[in-house]
Chain A
Amino acid sequence: MIRIEKLHKSYPIGKGSLHVLKGLDLHIKEGEFVAIMGSSGSGKSTLLNIVGLLDGHDTGKYYLNGQLIENLDEKKAAILRNKFLGFVFQSFNLINYKSALENVALPLYYQGVGRKERQRIALQYLDKVGLKDRAEHLPSELSGGEKQRVAIARALVTNPKVVLADEPTGALDSATTHSVMELLKEINREGMTVFVITHEEDVAAETDRIVRLKDGVIISDEKVNKKVNA
């Protein structure tokens, strides 16, 4: 599903540049539940942005769903994001003047789905995350955990190939963290590829595979032994 070969990325800083990703190789298969771990500055967010087509890379190759990503202009990137990727952010990133239902329906709007159909599908996904009765609430009327559930419903609504979650539990307490992770696990069980970025060990431990990043290189890549965590 996601294949990365010798990926390099630098950011210009003043006159020099900061080399953030130093030749990453990573292969994530369909249906995997992967956590990328690392301290801040390890390059994990940069990796997610590149995988999420929110940012470009310098050298190396990136295949998304078998398609080589190169020379993407903004428009193509937007279409691919809309089609293949669902995003969950640490700060939820819901549009504050839209109700939960409208937030979930927004990606469908950009797919050109009609209003009635959008609302029907969005309601279905809100139901899936257990927030059907909150459909008409504004984000400001929802708790943190509820907001993240809405964001997850929004990430799923286009039925993407991969869900990318950037510190999805970073702003949540431990009880809510657990329920959000349960939701992500459930989605993964249904066959969705889920890609989580976190710096919390117990969050990473809920996934199937942990990739550890340090200073722009992968230092370990191991399957999680479920029995140990059980």
Chain B
Amino acid sequence: MFDLDRWQEIFQTIGKNKLRTILAGFTIAFAILLFTLLFGIGNGLKHSFEKRFSNDAANSVYIRSGITTKPYKGLQSGRKIQFRNDDSKFINEKFEDEVQFFSPNVERYNVQAIYVGEHNNYTVRGVYPDYQPLESAEIKDGRFLSYLDLKRKAKVVAIGRLVEKDLFGNKNALGKNISLDGISYKVVGVFTDPGGDRDERFIYTPFSTAQGMYRINDELDQIGLTYNPSLKVDQAIAFSNLLQKMLKEKHNIDPRDQAAIRIQNYAEDAKNVQQLMFGLNIIILFIGIGTLIAGIIGISNIMVYIVKERTKEIGIRKALGATPGSIIGMIMMESIFITASAGYVGLLLGVFALKGIASTVEEYGILNPSVETYVVVGATIILIIAGTIAGYIPAKRAASIKPIVALNDE
């Protein structure tokens, strides 16, 4: 395949015919540069949307209780609805298939945490191990809470990254004991949370530990769960509606009472975001295809021009014994070489340009504008193929012209 002599011949032709090399190369490099820039900026828009909606798991549902606003079945309005452990059990039993992760939650605000000399106030949440995926929390050091912790009512905590920073400075909190309102807990893990500073100032402790500590009985504050990700958006909405209806029945609440039980379902939001993303993807795709088509048309025109310009040379070569195959091969290898190397230059320029503008465009809501390598490589390959086909057709024609006709071409 690799024929040094052939490549030397091709490099000479490329080097000695700078204008047409530059013309063809510029078209490709420019098309790929534009493609990379537009695609990258589109991706940047996408990234900032993704970030905005990635604080919690996209399929999460939060259930909170409130005070009734309507009298029902002889019960007066203004009654406080209190979830208890049997509500957790109820949901898990009734919706075994629909529920993926599940965690009840006991919350305590303004708990004073102390480590050696440092102290600060935080919200402490008693949760199940499932709470970690619900919050999209990522473990940085150690581990999250376990079911064994839950069973043992262990005095352990997983603390947010910023809690560690506040109390421990640059030191590692893992394995240390901190005091929460005077009671000592062992730090088993440190987590980060894409939700931001507020979410990284939480302290998580096993649900059973917190319930025992802060509640006199089996009360709980709220319930978080994620629904089975295989549910479609509409099914997810139907699921949360049914869940609400059944909980209202269980607690003797008027079905029309909006305040007593509130369910926050991200499915609606997720649906909107998905549609927006879909729209964005279409726009990005459209831009990409448009740029590529412009590039293809450009390179095709130039290839036709190049071959036309070379008709006489082709005639000479044929008179000297060049076979049609060798003529086609020469023109195509030239065009492939030019388009591939120019495409690479365009890709590099585009990627560097994206890096260069990244910090400037961030304030306009374009986050991390970048292009997946395979997309640009794919685009370059498409242009190379286009250049090859665009070169092949006139090359084939030129190679089939009788040499005598080609020689008379002035």
Interface residues, chain A, with chain B CB atoms under 8 Å away:
49, 52, 54-55, 74-75, 78-79, 81-83, 87, 89, 93-95, 97-98, 102, 106-107, 109-111, 114-115, 154, 158
Contacts and interface: CB of A to CB of B under 8 A. Distances in A.
Nearest to A155: B320
A154 B324 contact: no
Given A54-B403, A110-B321, A111-B321, A97 B17 contact: yes
Contacts of B407: 54, 89, 93
A78 B402 contact: no
Contacts, number: 68
A114 B5 contact: yes
Which of B5, B13, B317, B320 has most chain A Cβ within 10 Å? B320
Contacts of A115: 5, 8
Nearest to B8: A115
Contacts of B16: 97-98
B373 interface: no
B316 A93 contact: yes
Interface size class of B (residues with CB under 8 A): 20 to 34
Interface in B149-169: none
B9 A109 contact: yes
Nearest to B16: A97
Contact of B322 (A52, A54, A78, A94): A78
Given A97-B17, A109-B5, A115-B8, A49 B321 contact: no
State the majority secondary structure of interface residues on B: helix
A109 B16 CA distance: 18
Which of A83, A97, A102 has most chain B Cβ within 10 Å? A97
23 contacts: A49-B404, A54-B319, A54-B402, A55-B404, A74-B318, A74-B324, A78-B324, A81-B318, A81-B319, A82-B321, A87-B319, A93-B407, A94-B316, A97-B13, A97-B17, A107-B321, A109-B9, A110-B320, A110-B321, A110-B322, A110-B323, A114-B5, A115-B5
Given A95-B313, A97-B17, 15 more contacts: A54-B407, A55-B404, A74-B324, A75-B325, A78-B321, A78-B323, A78-B324, A81-B320, A93-B315, A98-B16, A110-B317, A110-B320, A115-B8, A154-B320, A158-B321
Interface of B: 5, 8-9, 12-13, 16-17, 312-313, 315-326, 399-400, 402-404, 407
Contacts of A111: 321
A81 B320 CA distance: 7
A107 B9 CA distance: 13
A75 B318 CA distance: 10
Nearest to A78: B323
B109 to A, nearest CB: 82
Contacts of A158: 321
A106 B320 contact: yes
Nearest to A91: B407
A80 to B, nearest CB: 9
Contacts of B326: 110
Contacts of A83: 321
Which of B317, B322, B399, B402 has most chain A Cβ within 10 Å? B322
A75 B321 contact: no
